């Protein structure tokens, strides 16, 4: 739309509200404020207008503040429950020497607005470290901070932690078109870990199909937003409008997750039982560690493609035994290599030592092959631990192991 037409008809520029739902109560916890232009053929999104940097700054600021005032008026008049999520361009906020954005909020505070209900959204793409002091200043008034548009492109997930965000908004748009994108899923997993570390809540947005909602639930999403749940609307809804639907869906997700976990645990238990039977027999037959690995390889072929034994400090006390082109080969260059730097390695060693049981890892990409695998580790004795790398083909063929 033409920027001049929009500015000449600000009376047609109105706020729409897209609900945001919670995982814990299955209810609406707030609304994102979105600008719409009431054209002849119905409401039109103003997203392109606000993202177009060729539009003069003063135009965007005026339209932003016009929408904000209208949204606050509706919010207070209707005594709506929950929070208001308000988008602002980071660069324009830094240019706002008159602090007009804050002054608008403070003006409404005098008439009863609780500033703890305001969530300021800043796009990750436009976030800079120069913004941190300003955002920390806003937080002193009770305003919450959300970092938006995470997950849409490559992102430096640590650059915005200095502002102590309350919410990380993660886009699931890519999963709409490529549900098998492992690298993207790994980035989202890293974001869930980061959110937990810094004490921020995860809000998954752009949920358009049920699979995305299930993925958000499985990966620590506290809040959910998207057209699958509710399109943007010109007003507010009862907070429990989807309560029964979400309760039913989450119950389905829980049952599915429990079934998948049961399959993983049964696989680990099966390997554990086999090793408990095999190892005592094999140790009686040979004192050679490499011969022990060869016997294990023969038994667990074609489940596994790599075997080795490490001591309690992560040093390999055997070469690798690797299956290559259908043949098992010895890789002596791996003897004495150390793997203690790997995440959770020493923690898992201590768990195996204490519980005297094996562990089946989660899914991860093998450093050498690049394939998605799992590793089963098992205490051979008080000081040595067996590692068995399970092939992608085996995981694929056994329902649940790639989950």
What is the spatial distance between Cα 209 and Cα 98, in angstroms, rounded to a whole number?
Answer: 43
Residues 287 and 174 in one domain: no
Among 175, 210, 228, where does a domain finish?
A: 228
* Residue 95 in domain: yes
Q: Are 135 and 265 contained in the same domain? A: no
Q: How many distinct helices (H) and strands (E) make up the chain?
A: 13, 16
User: Which stretch of DSSP H or E encloses residue 38?
Assistant: strand 28-39
- Strand 201-205 and strand 221-224: the pairing is parallel
- Residue 161 DSSP symbol: G
pLDDT tens-digit profile of 21-49? 999 999 999 999 999 999 989 999 999 99
Residue 34 shares a structural domain with residue 140: yes
Asked if residue 86 lies in contact with residue 104, where contact means CB atoms within 8 angstroms, the answer is no
Domain count, the chain: 2
Tracing tokens 């008026």 back to the chain, one arrives at 73
267 and 373 fall within a common domain? yes
Same domain, 20 and 116: yes
Clarify whether residues 51 and 173 are in a common domain: yes
- The CATH number of the domain holding residue 20 is 3.20.20.450
| Averaged pLDDT score across all residues of the chain | 92
pLDDT tens readout for residues 386-400: 999 999 999 999 978
Kindly tell me if the per-residue pLDDT of 144 is higher than 90. Answer: yes
pLDDT digits (tens, 9 = 90+) for 275-322: 999 999 999 998 899 999 999 999 999 999 999 999 999 999 999 999
Q: Are residues 148 and 269 in the same domain?
A: no
Domain shared by 330 and 378, yes or no: yes
Give the separation between CA 307 and CA 380, rounded to whole angstroms: 13
First vs last C-alpha separation in the chain: 45
Residue 402 lies in a domain: no
Same domain, 191 and 130: yes
Are 17 and 87 part of one and the same domain?
yes
CA distances from 328 to 287, 300, 395 (A): 20, 12, 20
Q: Are residues 167 and 266 in the same domain?
A: no
- On whether residue 233 sits in a domain, the answer given is no
380 located within any domain: yes
Q: By residue range, what is the domain housing residue 334? A: 256-397
pLDDT for 118: 98
pLDDT at 158 over 70: no
Q: Is the pLDDT of residue 155 over 70?
A: no
> In 10 A of CB 270, how many CB atoms?
11
- Residue 393: CA atoms inside 13 Å, Cβ hemisphere, count? 6
Instruction: Say if strands 13-22 and 28-39 run parallel, antiparallel, or are unpaired.
Output: antiparallel
Phi and psi torsions of 242, nearest 5°: -115, 15
User: Looking at residue 384, which CATH number applies to its domain?
Assistant: 3.30.450.20
């Amino acid at each position: 739309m033409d920027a001049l037409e929009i500015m000449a008809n600000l009376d047609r520029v109105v706020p729409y509200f897209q609900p945001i739902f919670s995982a814990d109560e299955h209810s609406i916890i707030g609304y994102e404020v979105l600008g719409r232009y009431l054209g002849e053929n119905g409401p039109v999104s103003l997203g392109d207008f606000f993202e177009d940097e060729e539009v003069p700054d003063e135009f965007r600021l005026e339209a932003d503040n016009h929408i904000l005032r209208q949204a606050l008026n509706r919010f207070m008049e209707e005594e709506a429950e929950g929070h208001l999520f308000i988008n602002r361009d980071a660069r324009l906020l830094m240019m706002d020497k008159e602090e007009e954005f804050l002054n608008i909020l403070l003006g409404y505070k005098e008439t009863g607005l609780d500033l703890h209900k305001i969530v300021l959204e800043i796009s990750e793409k436009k976030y800079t470290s120069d913004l941190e002091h300003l955002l920390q200043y806003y937080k002193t008034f009770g305003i919450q901070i959300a970092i938006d548009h995470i997950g849409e492109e490559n992102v430096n997930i640590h650059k915005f932690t200095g502002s102590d965000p309350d919410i990380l908004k993660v886009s699931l748009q890519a999963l709409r078109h490529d549900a098998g994108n492992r690298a993207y899923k790994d980035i989202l997993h890293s974001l869930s870990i980061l959110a937990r570390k810094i004490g921020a809540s995860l809000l998954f947005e752009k949920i358009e199909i049920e699979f995305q909602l299930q993925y958000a639930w499985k990966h620590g999403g506290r809040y959910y937003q998207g057209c699958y749940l509710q399109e943007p609307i010109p007003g507010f809804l009862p907070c429990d409008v989807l309560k029964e639907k979400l309760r039913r869906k989450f119950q389905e997700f829980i049952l599915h997750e429990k079934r998948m976990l049961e399959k993983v645990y049964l696989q680990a238990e099966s390997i554990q039982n086999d090793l408990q039977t095999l190892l005592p027999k094999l140790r009686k037959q040979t004192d050679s560690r490499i011969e022990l690995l060869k016997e294990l390889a023969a038994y667990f072929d074609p489940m596994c493609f790599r075997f080795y034994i490490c001591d309690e400090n992560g040093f390999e006390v055997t070469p690798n035994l690797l299956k290559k082109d259908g043949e098992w080969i010895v890789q002596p260059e791996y003897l004495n290599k150390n793997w203690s730097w790997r995440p959770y390695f020493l923690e898992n060693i201590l768990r195996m030592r204490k519980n005297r049981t094996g562990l089946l890892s989660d899914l991860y990409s093998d450093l050498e092959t690049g394939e998605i695998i799992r590793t089963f580790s098992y205490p051979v004795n008080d000081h040595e631990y067996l590692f068995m790398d399970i092939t992608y083909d085996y995981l694929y063929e056994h329902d649940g192991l790639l989950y």
